[in-house]
Structure 1
Amino acid sequence: MLGIGTTVGTWVFFHMFMLQRTYSFSGFIKEPLDENQAEGDLTYFTCIVRELDDTQYISWLHNGRKISKNGEIIINTYAHYSIDYNSVFGTCNLRIQNVQRRDKGRYTCTVYDSNDKIVEKSRTANFTVLEIPQQQYPICSSTQTSYRVGQYVVLNCISEKTTPLALLRWVHNIGGSDSGLKESLTGNYEKSYSFIAKQSDNRAIFTCELTTSANPSIERNCTIGPLDVLYPPIVRIQQTRDVILGNEAIFICYSDANPQETTFEWSFDPPINENMFVLENDIILRIKNTLSSLNGTSVICTVTNSIGSGSSKLIVNVKLKESINNVVESNNGKETTQSEKPNERNKNKSNNQNSKSNQQLLQTRSPNNNNSSSTDISISLVVIIALVCIIVILGLALIPVGYMKYTRRQPSDTISRGRPVSIPDVYFEPRDHIDPMLPQLGLAAPWMRTVGVQVPGECEYDATYNTQVMPQPRQVYYTQRMYPASSL
């Protein structure tokens, strides 16, 4: 009987235990889903279970590693993780703040028993971290620090290799081609831009822009430049005015070079005597006295720098004085003009054109007369404007003075009928008043009358009424009115 009772008791206990386990956990109400999130952002994984007993708990697994127990993170390297846990409702949500690249992987919500054995696992959620290139990217670089004209230039823009890949774009105004995005030897990704260097490319600036689909708000860039393109001098000669027989001729040599010019050299073809010209700073050539033999002579300026040399040539065209209309002659600081005869100016159409051009040359060379006449006109104009301003100011100042004079002599007032009434020059205004009662005397103060008189300023002065009345003390005033002195 004892054996049968023990067997029945064991069976009942086992049945009740199994019934209790089945009732305690019946499954997941909500399981975690796959997530994609960019670095630095926030993400959630949700887990809700049904009916846990006191011997069971929930944990999260990251790539098969237990990282939490109920509502606490148990690994220090996951300090940016947190758990939203509620045992009543069976919720155990995983929150990842400031997502990092190492957070990617598989996440599973798992139910354990008191012996740390797995009771049930949820579906595995895959977490993809959208990687953003680190702050130092993009990086721009070039193969050389300087280039010569005609040399092949290669510029590189480097970005970190991420998932997804960043987009690189060169911004410039110089024709060339890019290589597209390719993997570099360092394991990063780069985009190259290449072109043939020209003189116009000197001082050019190139910009590489980085964007990423992981976070469209991120826009970064790096620059290369100003680009240093070396080229030999580019030379040109300019003459300041027409070359006139017997006058001074000036020629200037301009140069554009990188690096800077080192030497300037002047030469003539055919050669001329060295005494005929003077150099100023090696850039300006002055021929003191132009001779007819210089007509057709080639003036050559050659400039040299460390890259090479460049030159320019100008052919001298000497013009005669007789062919110039209104030529200015200098005489002790004064200038006189000589005009050609009308018959000579009307010989042919070409002479008319030459005379017009020479007249324009004269106007540019002799500005003294024009300046003197224009100076006289400007001084006269300034004097006229000053006089007009003074008259206007005086007129404006006299307006208030006249108004005040008129209103003072003719004061007026209005009556009920609306007609103006003149105010007399002399009038009387009587005013009555009574002095205040003195409390200690119990007597009424005397009645007094005060008369005010207004006399115009232009009336005659009468010395009879010019009697100065001295103020009386208070005791004298009341004594005269027979008040006892003891009451004062």
Structure 2
Amino acid sequence: MYNLGTGKTVGTWIFFYILMLQRTYSFSGFIKEPLDENQAEGDLTFFTCIVRELDETQYVSWLHNGHKISKNGEIILNTYAHYSIDFDSAFGSYNLRIQNVQRRDKGGYICSVYNSYDQIVEKSRTANFTVLEIPQQQYPICSSTKMSYRVGQNVVLNCISEKTTPLGSLRWVNTIGGSESGLKESLSGNYEKTYSFTAKQSDNREIFTCELTTSANPSLYRNCSIGPLDVLYAPVVRIQQTRDVILGNEAIFICYSDANPQETTFEWSFDPPISENMFVLENDIILRIKNTLSSLNGTSVLCKVTNSIGSGSSKLIVNVKSKEYINNVVETNNGKETKKSEKINERNENKPKNQNSNSNQQLLQTPSPNNKSRSTDISISLVVIIALGCIVVILGLALIPVGYMRYTRRQPSDTINRGRPVSIPDVYFEPRDHIDPMLPQLGLAAPWMRTVGVQVPGECEYDATYNTQVMPQPRQVYYTQRMYPASSL
């Protein structure tokens, strides 16, 4: 009994063991396995897995870098909330979808089949996922080694971006005369590109821009700027006179300066020196010489401006001119300037008086070509102006009666349309349509009648038609009075 019972027990276990093996190895393979993928951050990607003849006790799971992240059609880890499974058991498809790809999603993905004991029955090939990294939103970053530079110093500007796979591209734009380095790794673990140049006065207040692009997303474009750049320089000075310096008149000189930082002092000096009573300073910038003397001719006027960086100056030589010299007209003859009669008389003082008088008379009587053309232009302009004035006056006189007639003419339709009141005469007849009352004897309606109103001056007789009552009368008499023939009845 023992042996028989033992034999039956062993046979039962063997039967169940064979049945379990058959049910465990009912899986026959993968129809489609996942392939390698690469995708940029923020995009969407898929991994495909289709199995054949999956047993009821078996299920499919995805592994990411060796970690089990799903079971059949559900994601089992909260850190993979942006994952989902396109599950269809009838077709055996267990496709993995990754939305909003992140850098931590890179690595190997395996589609695996498990039995009821959570043991792996079969695994697919490992699909490698490469995430194309995009620099974070704060990049690029522009920086400078100093806050301000002096003219002549070396300026170094840095453009920094995050170290990604693949590396982004950095480029300084609108740069002339400097040198741009290649990409190099910075101390912070990022990479950078520098632009260096020698500071000039024209670089003050300039803005420099660096662009970032990446092959991970060709449509991506970012930039950063640094500036306005602060370039320090000594004052650049120039003196300007408002007009010619005329003997006896006031002379004005202005000292202009361009400096960074702002100017601190303005100093005026003269060589040879002049008395302080001869000039006045306004805001240290404007120099006024009240009464210009002939002794100022050839005097050197210097304006010196100073700031914290240094000093700059400008010099001007005073050229005093007489009033007679200014009144002379300078003419151009074959590209050379000649003076008019006064200078000619001065050069001809040694000639006989008669000859001088004749030559002067000839000069006065013979106008130059420029004077002829100028007088001709003036006369033509004067004639045109007079003609235009006459035309305007004639048109104005012609429009006066037309306007008066237009204003005084009464047109009922125009008056009504324009909203102006219509004048009513003292004596007038109002047009009125009426129908005579029906005659009881005849049993017919009287014909329609119209009374036409006519304006008349003064007093007029009262129209009795409005108050006349139709008295009963024979039919023949009624129509005879209305000028209707009896044959028409």
Q: Aligned AA for 1:197? A: A
Q: Aligned AA for 2:182? A: G
1:457 matched residue in structure 2? 455
Cα deviations by residue, 1:7-59 (Å, 9 ceiling, x for unpaired): 8887777666555555x211100000111111111111000000101011000
Q: Is the 8 A contact 1:431 1:449 kept in 2?
A: no
In structure 2, the CA distance between the partners of 1:384 and 1:92, relative to structure 1 (3 Å rule), is farther
1:90 equivalenced with 2:88 (yes/no)? no
1:79 matched residue in structure 2? 81
SS at match of 1:324: helix
1:107 matched residue in structure 2? 109
Q: Is the 8 A contact 1:434 1:447 kept in 2?
A: yes
CA shift for structure 1 position 260: 0.9
Measure, in 2, the Cα distance between the counterparts of 1:151 and 1:193: 14
In structure 2, the CA distance between the partners of 1:143 and 1:47, relative to structure 1 (3 Å rule), is same
Cα deviations by residue, 1:245-278 (Å, 9 ceiling, x for unpaired): 2222211111111111111111011111212212
Measure, in 2, the Cα distance between the counterparts of 1:173 and 1:394: 71
1:440 matched residue in structure 2? none
Measure, in 2, the Cα distance between the counterparts of 1:48 and 1:347: 120
User: TM-score, structure 1 length as denominator?
Assistant: 0.73
* Alpha-carbon RMSD: 4.0
Q: Aligned AA for 2:114? A: Y
Measure, in 2, the Cα distance between the counterparts of 1:266 and 1:462: 103
**Structure 2 stretches of 5 or more lacking a match?**
330-339, 350-381, 415-428, 471-489
2:148 matched residue in structure 1? 146
**Structure 1 stretches of 5 or more lacking a match?**
328-338, 349-375, 409-425, 438-442, 478-488
Q: Which residue of 177, 180, 197 maps to 2:179?
A: 177
Which structure has greater strand proportion?
1
Matching of residues 156-175 of structure 1 within 5 Å? 156-175=158-177
Q: Aligned AA for 1:91? A: S
Measure, in 2, the Cα distance between the counterparts of 1:320 and 1:114: 119
Q: Aligned AA for 1:63? A: N
Q: Is the 8 A contact 2:439 2:446 kept in 1?
A: no
Measure, in 2, the Cα distance between the counterparts of 1:288 and 1:263: 23
CA shift for structure 1 position 454: 1.9
Identity of aligned residues (%): 67
Q: Aligned AA for 2:290? A: K
Q: Is the 8 A contact 1:168 1:191 kept in 2?
A: yes
In structure 2, the CA distance between the partners of 1:82 and 1:346, relative to structure 1 (3 Å rule), is farther
1:134 matched residue in structure 2? 136
Q: How many residue pairs are counted as aligned between the two chains?
A: 408
Q: Is the 8 A contact 2:237 2:258 kept in 1?
A: yes
Measure, in 2, the Cα distance between the counterparts of 1:265 and 1:342: 40
Q: Which residue of 43, 57, 64 maps to 1:62?
A: 64
Q: Aligned AA for 1:112? A: Y
Measure, in 2, the Cα distance between the counterparts of 1:323 and 1:158: 68
User: TM-score, structure 2 length as denominator?
Assistant: 0.73
1:282 matched residue in structure 2? 284
1:344 matched residue in structure 2? 345
Q: Is the 8 A contact 1:38 1:130 kept in 2?
A: yes
CA shift for structure 1 position 171: 1.6
Q: Which residue of 299, 308, 311 maps to 2:310?
A: 308
Q: Is the 8 A contact 1:172 1:205 kept in 2?
A: no
Cα deviations by residue, 1:54-73 (Å, 9 ceiling, x for unpaired): 01100000001111110111
Measure, in 1, the Cα distance between the counterparts of 2:225 and 2:78: 41
In structure 2, the CA distance between the partners of 1:33 and 1:394, relative to structure 1 (3 Å rule), is farther
Cα deviations by residue, 1:114-164 (Å, 9 ceiling, x for unpaired): 111111100100001111111111111111111111111111111111111
